[in-house]
Amino acid sequence: MRSGIVWALAGVSAFGQPGNSSAAQQAAHKLRQANQAFHAGYAALEAQHLDEARADFIRVVRLAPQLPEGHMALGAVLVQLGHADQAIPELKQALELKPDDAGIRSNLARAYASLAGTANNPAAAEQQLRDAVAADPADPTLDDQLGSLLAQQKQWPQAEAEFRKALGILGSAPLDSAEAALVHMHLGVALEQEQQLTDAEQEMRTAVQIAPENAEIQLQLGLLLAGEERDDEALTPLQAAVRTETAAPPAPAPAGADMALAMSLQRLGRQTEAIPYFERAVAEDAKNASALNNLGLALTETGKAKEAMPYFQRALALQAENPVFHEDAGVADLQMSDFNAAIREFQAASKLDAKNPELHYDLGLAYKLQDRMDDAVKELQTAAALDPRLPDPPYTLGILQMQLGKLDEAADSLRTALILRPQNGDGWAILGSVLNQLHQFKEAERALHRAMELLPGQPGPRITLASVLTAEGKHDEAVALRKEAAALTRVAVNRQKAQFSTNAGNQLLLRGQIADAVSRFQEAIAADPGYAEAHRELAVAYDRQGLTAEAAAEKAKAESLETTTNPVQHGTEQP
């Protein structure tokens, strides 16, 4: 790709040869110095020593202010240094000295474009770029920059047209691959804003194929996929974006990459993995309130509410009017059993967002935990009224009403909750118990049979149903159910014993006490032969003892059990 600096170098021959007078000799000396400074500046630019190049080009302008090439070179390097406001006067001076030079006009357009996001007169920047495009229609970078300027002004269809024009030019006179990739990325961003998501993704993926090492392109693809709730797919490009730091040569990850990756991991429930990236995002920008709050949330969800609280406090100091921040801080307070603090946070959140049913639900739970039952009922009823589609408010309300002895109201609330979430086995079991107390035996039977279908390994619904059948005089059926419940209880107790022994064996294994660990794993298997984890850990212990055949047998048994029905969950295996 041609650059402004190359065009300026081509003009060095214009450094003319004055006559033989004393003044002419002085002028010639200055021109020779300017020529040397110009070549030194160009060499510094090639080596990416931009500050040195700027100093050399400033010297050129001072020695030979009448020559447009010096002003153009200085302006071009100032643009690369991010000082477009300083570059524009130099480029304007160059254009006055050489009005027909397309290269100068192009560099001036680039300077205006780089200022467009903050410029007081974006229309002027746009016109300069259009003039530059007209002067050099074969340079696709100008169309790309014009498209970028239009995109900054949210003129997405017009921006799309310019990006497509740039790609059309690339078809006949391609730029280097990095430039081509950027044009595809820019087009993808424009298409995304126009909700042409399939085409946007195609452009982004094309850009990634051309320049997989470009972290910004990887980031944009990841953001697009995450925005479509495809976080599992977004992880690959987002991880590529943040791994820029370990590339050769290393480079900083683009702004926002750590935060984007952390958010995708958090939405996927991978909180532990998200925490380091949230920490990096906070280190990058200590005033990023969203990063602070989400780091606190991730810590809370991994059981570290005390560690989370300082981050919530910092987030709230930055955005005290954000109801989500208050809500998340309240959840951390609940985890620490600080119910008064949780109530304060939920109250603050609900005042800021009074129509949010989740905030009223959270407040209702906090009141319930503090035994403020009337307040809890009021908040849960408000939550249910604000969004009748949510199953949790009526379900929790039904349990609370049952505890308060308001059985008719409890039954109504539980029925509503189960219409919304019919696969809630515990809900059917509780409804059956409430209906039994109301002597509505037939409906109680139906509810409890549904609970048994959904919770086949749980003894509770069978015990309650046995009570219902007894009240109806069906004694034989009740006795059979109680026997089933007793058997399931033994299975559950045996599974608890097996889990305890397996955990103890794991601790012994960590301390290198292999023989004792083997004994604990064998105890676990004796308590519950169907517990796959005990067989798996026993295989590890046998392997460390050199009992290869025994280890293989236990491993095979564990794998076999994992492919069959779990007796505790489904109650298919009787002791």
Question: Where residue 55 sits, what CATH number does that domain have?
Answer: 1.25.40.10
- Per residue in 46-98, pLDDT (tens digit) is 888 999 989 999 999 999 899 898 999 999 899 888 888 898 899 889 888 98
Give start and end residues of each alpha helix (H) in 455-572. 460-471, 475-510, 514-527, 532-544, 548-562, 567-570
66 occurs within a structural domain: yes
DSSP 497: H
pLDDT at 128: 77
Least confident of 87-91, 284-288, 416-420: 87-91
342 occurs within a structural domain: no
Supply 212's token pair. Answer: 């997989």
Q: How confident is the model at residue 527 (pLDDT cuts 50, 70, 90)?
A: confident
10 occurs within a structural domain: yes
For 451-461, what is the mean pLDDT?
Answer: 91
Q: DSSP string of 92-140?
A: HHHHHHSTT-HHHHHHHHHHHHHHTTT-S-HHHHHHHHHHHHHH-TT-H
400 occurs within a structural domain: no
For 10-22, what is the mean pLDDT?
Answer: 51
76 occurs within a structural domain: yes
Of 80, 110, 136, the one marking the end of a domain is: 136
For 174-183, what is the mean pLDDT?
Answer: 74
CA distance 552 to 38: 76
131 occurs within a structural domain: yes
208 occurs within a structural domain: no
pLDDT at 248: 54
Give the 3-state secondary structure of residue 254: coil
Least confident of 11-20, 174-183, 191-200, 561-570: 11-20
437 occurs within a structural domain: no
- Tabulate helix, strand, coil % of the chain (nearest 5): 80, 0, 20
Q: What is the mean pLDDT of the chain?
A: 87
- Per residue in 219-270, pLDDT (tens digit) is 999 999 999 999 999 999 999 999 865 555 566 778 899 999 999 999 999 9
CA distance 341 to 344: 5
pTM: 0.68
For 288-308, what is the mean pLDDT?
Answer: 95
C-alpha triplet 191, 193, 198: angle, nearest 5°: 45
Least confident of 286-295, 377-386, 504-513: 504-513
CA distance 342 to 321: 17
pLDDT at 1: 37
Q: How confident is the model at residue 118 (pLDDT cuts 50, 70, 90)?
A: low
C-alpha triplet 139, 116, 218: angle, nearest 5°: 70
pLDDT at 169: 86
Residue type, 401: Q
Whole-number percent of the chain with pLDDT over 70 = 90
Instruction: State the DSSP H helix or E strand holding residue 420, giving kind and residue range, or none if neither.
Output: helix 407-420
- Per residue in 326-381, pLDDT (tens digit) is 999 999 999 999 999 999 999 999 999 999 999 999 999 999 999 999 999 999 99
CA distance 499 to 495: 6
CA separation, residue 357 to residues 87, 327, 351, 354, 386 (Å): 54, 12, 12, 8, 6
Of 118, 136, 154, the one marking the end of a domain is: 136
Supply 186's token pair. Answer: 């820019």
For 140-161, what is the mean pLDDT?
Answer: 90
For 538-567, what is the mean pLDDT?
Answer: 83
Cβ distance 358 to 329 under 8 Å?
no
pLDDT at 21: 63
pLDDT at 310: 97
Q: Is the peptide bond before 249 cis (omega within 30 degrees of 0)?
A: yes
Of 136, 156, 187, the one marking the end of a domain is: 136
**Rg of the chain taking only CA atoms, in angstroms:** 36
Q: How confident is the model at residue 574 (pLDDT cuts 50, 70, 90)?
A: very low
Supply 298's token pair. Answer: 């991730």
Cβ distance 279 to 295 under 8 Å?
yes
pLDDT at 11: 42
Whole-number percent of the chain with pLDDT over 90 = 59
For 298-324, what is the mean pLDDT?
Answer: 95
> Can you list the pairs that 193-201 forms with residues at least 24 positions away whose Cβ atoms lie under 8 Å?
193/151, 193/154, 193/156, 194/156, 194/157, 194/160, 197/224, 197/228, 200/224, 201/225
Range of the domain at 62: 1-136
Count the domains in the chain. Answer: 2
CA distance 525 to 532: 9
Q: How confident is the model at residue 7 (pLDDT cuts 50, 70, 90)?
A: very low
